Structure 1
């Protein structure tokens, strides 16, 4: 079964809107796990507009499944990872002012840089995943970074899924098969929801983990958090 890691950035956004601790981020993380989440994902950004660096420290002490910390490996981010040592670090090349992640790494141009980052993170005991577009050349070059996994950036899949599911999944299936042949683990994330998730899972049999936040939190407003997590889990069987 593909694991579901729940991204709780949007919970932090809601909390920060009032300047207090409601909703209580740590309690939401505990409840997500209790309701069936197999991991908790956070993506702290330099301006801390949602997840704060202290949140990551606090989450490490209470998450009992796996903590996945996403981000651009700036010095501050790397220092945080050295301190917290999450189970997984997902490297994302987003600009400081990016609203959300919007592109994968160029693993050809940045291979040496990524190799250095991945090597250090693995010495800390972290599993490392690199955020990638479904480009075979980038998947092949990822091998040279020493990464454990890649995370396929699925926004393009989600946008095309409604009009042509077969065409939408094709490049992702190609990338997934190649990753499997190269011995790289496979994650996926971005704009996945209850409409498109099952199709992704059915066509990427080697998929190990998806991280989902925005759509899941939106669904939970109507369906309830426990029910929503269970509905997402069922798409991944």
Structure 2
């Protein structure tokens, strides 16, 4: 079954909007794990607007030996203040997977992937270091991306397809073209020897269609829609709904 990794960034956004510790990100993680999710995802950013480095460390202790831990981020974002940098965090907590994403400081959310040919030279030493730490490395790519042989040569083991365009097209009522693009991207990546993850704007409404179109889909990372839906149905019920879709 495709692994469900729940992104907890929105829990941290809600907590940070008021200050203090509520809602507790650890309690949310425990709820998701006890309900059956296979992983937890966080995406710490240098401006600390949601998940913070101390959250990353606390969750590492909580999750170890229980579920997969996926940390996303831009490896080229410079350390500042309490943010030590993505690689330094990975060095500290040794997550199961690090997903490298080329987002800038000013982006509200990730909205594009790496060019695997153009970015190969600067990504290779980062991937080497993460692999030495025992982390699986996934590269965030656009639907329609090319050059998967470069990803394999760099030592990456997975890609994550940016599914924002697909989700937008699905909401507009015509996702056929974007769905085919995601499926073709997955097929070519798998043929090159990479496992395939997917994430961004996936929801209960659009996940089943994507899952059916990508045989062997390894993992989906879902946060924004899942947490939004949980406001109405509860977190445990919502996680169960996603797991049922993936089955």
TM-score of the aligned structures, taking structure 2 as reference length: 0.93
Residue 116 (structure 1) aligned with residue 125 (structure 2): yes
2:72 is matched with 70
The answer to whether the 8 Å contact 2:197/2:219 transfers is yes
Residue 84 (structure 1) aligned with residue 86 (structure 2): no
Mark the runs of 5 or more structure 1 residues left unpaired by the alignment: none
1:150 to 150, 159, 163: 159
Q: Which moved more, 1:143-152 or 1:191-200?
A: 143-152
- Give, in angstroms, the shift of residue 124 of structure 1: 0.1
Task: Report the RMSD for the aligned CA atoms in angstroms.
Answer: 1.1
The answer to whether the 8 Å contact 1:8/1:213 transfers is yes
- Give, in angstroms, the shift of residue 140 of structure 1: 3.8
Moved segments of 4+, more than 4 Å: none
1:4 is matched with 4
The answer to whether the 8 Å contact 1:132/1:138 transfers is no
Separation in 1, partners of 2:145, 2:73: 23
1:209 is matched with 219
The answer to whether the 8 Å contact 2:167/2:206 transfers is yes
Separation in 1, partners of 2:196, 2:179: 15
SS of corresponding position for 1:144: helix
Aligned residues: 237
- Give, in angstroms, the shift of residue 18 of structure 1: 1.3
The answer to whether the 8 Å contact 2:102/2:112 transfers is yes
Separation in 2, partners of 1:105, 1:94: 10
- Give, in angstroms, the shift of residue 39 of structure 1: 0.4
Separation in 1, partners of 2:236, 2:112: 31
TM-score of the aligned structures, taking structure 1 as reference length: 0.97
Mark the runs of 5 or more structure 2 residues left unpaired by the alignment: 79-84
The answer to whether the 8 Å contact 1:176/1:206 transfers is no
Residue 168 (structure 1) aligned with residue 178 (structure 2): yes
2:81 is matched with none
Q: 1:60 to 1:169 in 2, by over 3 A?
A: same
